A and B are shown apart, each in its own frame.
Chain A
């Protein structure tokens, strides 16, 4: 695990089909609840967590390590909420 600042975190995607339409929808809907800019980094790509197409184009199959990063007033809450969501997908 790399050294992380409090508003970044890494999570492993464990659901069976990866970040496909339904889980990506949930993720983006949740991200849109926050003011912060939120990105995920996975497979060497960076994607806007509020754009479902960007998320889908990251192509995260199951088992992908996803790095979450948020900047903005509610970054901590955002990262925690999204981490929990990914864990439950």
Chain B
């Protein structure tokens, strides 16, 4: 497999992070089965021969799948249905029977017939509107490849005695499952998304993976040295010495981190003197639930409900939402799940809901404003949430509330929806907590008034900082002015916490700042009850919480609130951090990739 390495420039390919971790090793490119060796049949005598070859290959593929299924022990039991569906495809008239017909009809060999029947199938599937179902076309292809493999000599695995990184155009879950996991360091797949079967399997076998990586198979040949960063979705092909050293270091850090973290993930987030804080996860898709639980989330502090609105061709129907929310709540039960209602508009648009072009979308018709403007859209989501509410511990929060009247207007809609559900004899979620995001400075200013109308606050620092500092953090020219560790930001957080606690409600924080370990002692000192962050950050934050003494954190917060400037604040903070966490000089290794 090894090829002579000449000096090749390193290249970076950007894909989608599908399974966390960093892998460094030689590439083994899985070539798609050679469809090329095809021939026409000379006489009808050969038809029977080809049919027999097809039957034997199908039988061999079936044996292979059954064997693989047996090997799926408890850990992998969840993949048995995938294998079952592939077994069914193997016996499906549209693929194999169709190929058999084509052999005699067109007088071609098995390979050609199978290629043709697959092409017909792909054509049918390519026309589908729904992306999820379109992705399932891969299943048909994977099964055809299994048959092809049998035709080419019994589906032997490539010779492989040294660890490799598996590279493919579109390899199947079976490819992943049947590899000796000790010899596969990582996966890179040109096709596929985070929700594809291949990505799901990679996560389960805890192997770093990047999928959806364009031009991969043109850029990589077997024997290339690869770095696969499953945390950021980056693939480096033939890294130079310096890059290699950097990634070896990051890999070591991440492994050390993971090792320690599997220990910290399931310890309570409790300060040395016993003050508890809820450390929760920010999620977007159901597929991430597993990750959140694995990293020790004690709930979902922010479920961004937009995903299922942005990927479909129109707004999802109530029944679909109900089933999504039921699944979400049931999977996390007994932990709480906080769903943020639609936060779209501005730059994120629901298909089928075209809005006018806005000169200033961040200040325009978005989030709760859009929901109030489009009551059907809003009510459908609320109905689905309430209907699903009995499956777990649901909390609902509204994004971008700017005033008391707006909040009352929202609560009026909530009351209408509940009355409607009750009259229909459906669950109306009367006992669930209703909260709001505090992410606009006007809401901070009147937080004491708002606190009397809700069950909890959740501070969205990403937007709050942008609005408060008047800085677009994506605009390179001013992005440096975006600074969570600024006295203005800390004072706003302090004000919200105080207003909330005075009214007897919980106050959480769900911006990126929640996973920033430098900010952690301040946030604890300010008295936040919940911190919600990227799942990978949870164990590290727990570890640091456990090193903190709450009195000291409080004194730190008091001290920093009085700082005249961000510069002074950061200097003082640095001194405190060295005192609080003397051996914690490492940066946050779960963000090993390029941090946005």
Q: Is the CB of B133 within 8 A of A60?
A: yes
- Chain B residues closer than 8 Å to A24, beta-carbon distance: 85
Checking A48, A54, A63 against B319 with a beta-carbon cut-off of 8 angstroms, the contacting residue is: A63
Checking A14, A18, A20, A25 against B88 with a beta-carbon cut-off of 8 angstroms, the contacting residue is: A25
> In whole angstroms, how far apart are the Cα atoms of A38 and B312 in the complex?
30
Q: Is the CB of B93 within 8 A of A51?
A: yes
> In whole angstroms, how far apart are the Cα atoms of A48 and B91 in the complex?
14
* CB of B201, distance to nearest CB on chain A (Å): 13
- Chain B residues closer than 8 Å to A59, beta-carbon distance: 125, 127-130, 133-134
- Does A15 sit within 8 A of B, measured CB to CB? yes
- Chain A residues closer than 8 Å to B136, beta-carbon distance: 20-21, 56
Q: Is the CB of A22 within 8 A of B81?
A: yes
Q: Who on chain A is nearest to B312 by CB?
A: A61
**Chain A contacts with B in 1-27, Cβ cutoff 8 A:** 12, 14-22, 24-25
Interface residues of B, count at CB 8 A: 35
> In whole angstroms, how far apart are the Cα atoms of A31 and B368 in the complex?
46
Q: Is the CB of A28 within 8 A of B317?
A: no
- Chain A residues closer than 8 Å to B317, beta-carbon distance: 62-63
- Does B327 sit within 8 A of A, measured CB to CB? yes
CB 8 Å contact bits of B292-329 with A (1 = contact, 0 = none) = 00000000000000000000100011011011100100
- Does A81 sit within 8 A of B, measured CB to CB? no
Checking B92, B319, B320, B323 against A51 with a beta-carbon cut-off of 8 angstroms, the contacting residue is: B92
* CB of B532, distance to nearest CB on chain A (Å): 23
Checking A22, A54, A57, A62 against B320 with a beta-carbon cut-off of 8 angstroms, the contacting residue is: A62
- Does B139 sit within 8 A of A, measured CB to CB? yes
Q: Given the interface contacts A62-B317, A62-B320, A63-B317, does A54 sit within 8 Å of B94 by beta carbon?
A: yes
- Chain B residues closer than 8 Å to A54, beta-carbon distance: 92-94
- Does A29 sit within 8 A of B, measured CB to CB? yes
Q: Is the CB of A21 within 8 A of B94?
A: no
> In whole angstroms, how far apart are the Cα atoms of A17 and B197 in the complex?
13
- Does A85 sit within 8 A of B, measured CB to CB? no
Q: Is the CB of B81 within 8 A of A56?
A: no
> In whole angstroms, how far apart are the Cα atoms of A67 and B220 in the complex?
47
- Does B430 sit within 8 A of A, measured CB to CB? no
- Does B84 sit within 8 A of A, measured CB to CB? yes
8 pairs of A and B residues whose beta carbons are closest in the complex: A59-B128, A53-B94, A57-B124, A62-B320, A25-B85, A63-B317, A21-B85, A61-B130
- Give residues in B with beta carbon < 8 Å to A: 81-82, 84-85, 88-89, 92-95, 121, 124-125, 127-130, 132-134, 136-137, 139-140, 197, 286, 312, 316-317, 319-320, 322-324, 327
